[in-house]
């Protein structure tokens, strides 16, 4: 009888803890998506005013400390690619695991839009100002 009295509260506590952890991770994912929107808008404003994309160093200077790291403490990746049709940019949040999901951010240039909500280790990605891998709403 004592075991049952302890087991049920322990089970409830475990479930509550899992839900709280999930909500915290989801909040971090949504926060990262907001950061990426801000960074992408800054890149687009720079392109509109200067006619070219900022270098990674220029973007860091423009943003300052505001958006250097994602909510998990990983640096956001910003890469500029020169293609025949012009300049393209990719911004990546590496997610909770801090690892790139693909061999190179360039592979995201031809990606179709997907949602990775509640998949916290997945990358969240912006290509040329639009999400190709997003955290949902």
pLDDT tens digits, one per residue of 95-131? 999 999 999 999 999 888 888 767 888 899 999 999 9
Give the SS3 label for residue 126.
strand
Q: Is 104 helix (H, G, I), strand (E, B) or coil?
A: coil
Q: Which residues are 89's β-sheet partners?
A: 80
Domains of the chain and any CATH numbers: 29-134 (3.30.700)
Q: What is the pTM of this model?
A: 0.81
């Amino acid at each position: 009888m004592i075991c049952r009295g302890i087991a049920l509260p322990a089970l409830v506590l475990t479930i509550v803890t899992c839900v709280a952890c999930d909500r915290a991770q989801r909040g971090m994912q949504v926060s990262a998506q907001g950061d990426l929107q801000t960074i992408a808008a800054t890149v687009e404003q720079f392109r509109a005013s200067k006619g070219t994309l900022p270098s990674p160093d220029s973007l860091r200077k423009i943003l300052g400390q505001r958006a250097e790291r994602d909510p998990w403490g990983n640096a956001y990746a910003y890469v500029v690619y020169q293609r025949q049709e012009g300049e393209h940019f990719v911004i990546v949040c590496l997610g909770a695991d801090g690892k790139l999901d693909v061999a190179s951010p360039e592979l995201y240039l031809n990606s179709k839009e997907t949602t990775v909500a509640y998949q916290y280790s997945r990358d969240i990605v912006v290509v040329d100002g639009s999400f190709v891998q997003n955290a949902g709403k």
